[in-house]
Amino acid sequence: MGVKIQGLEALRAKLKAMPEAIKAEVRASLVQSANEIADTARALAPVDDGDLKDSIVVTEPEKLTPLYSSGGSHKVGDMAVAVTAGNSAVRYAAPVEFGHDGDGKPDGAAPRPFFWPAYRSKKKRIRNRTARAINKAAKKIWSGK
């Protein structure tokens, strides 16, 4: 004598759909968050000629970051985004952010942070947005909408 569970196939379908639906919602929230960080970093970046500001870009999941960006070119993971500064003409993003001593003399450039303050200002918002994206996807799957 077997036990028959009503709705088992529907439950299995919902459980199977959940990871992809959650990934899609989280990816969208990560791209939105990365664009906010990039916008804030651009607003905070010191402007001499605007090249540093213009070099701040968002790389979406599964794409390559710019060749000469901070950290070099690499493929972004499927559940990640990258905000980078720098390109072939702008190779000084890190020295601007952290300062440098130039040739070792005490007349080096002081730090002019723009990138990490942008990230820190959005960190809590990103965490909350990501949690909402996960909850939204789960509710969508379980409600059948």
The residue among 73, 38, 30 whose CA lies nearest residue 55 is 38
d(CA 35, CA 105): 38
With a CB cutoff of 8 Å and minimum separation 6, the contacts of 68 are: 86, 87, 88, 90, 91
pLDDT digits (tens, 9 = 90+) for 128-141: 999 999 888 888 87
Burial (CB count <10 Å: 0-12, 13-18, 19+), residue 127:
exposed
Tracing tokens 């001499």 back to the chain, one arrives at: 48
Greater confidence (86 vs 9) lies with: 86
Q: What is the pTM of this model?
A: 0.82
Task: Check residue 4 and give its pLDDT.
Answer: 65
Residue type, 114: F
H or E stretch at 57: strand 57-59
What pLDDT is stored for residue 29 in this prediction? Answer: 94
pLDDT digits (tens, 9 = 90+) for 106-132: 667 899 999 999 999 999 999 999 999
Q: How many other C-beta atoms are found inside a 10 Å radius of the C-beta of residue 118?
A: 22
As a whole number of Å, the end-to-end CA separation of the chain is: 36
Q: How much is the pLDDT for 144? A: 65
pLDDT grade, residue 72 (50/70/90)? confident
Task: Give the pLDDT band of residue 9 (cuts 50, 70, 90).
Answer: confident
- pLDDT for 13-69, tens place per residue? 776 777 888 889 989 999 999 999 999 999 999 998 999 999 999 999 999 999 888
Residue 36, token pair as written in the block: 């906010």
pLDDT at 30: 93
- What pLDDT does residue 113 have? 96
Any residues with CB less than 8 A from the CB of 127 and at least 6 apart, and which? none
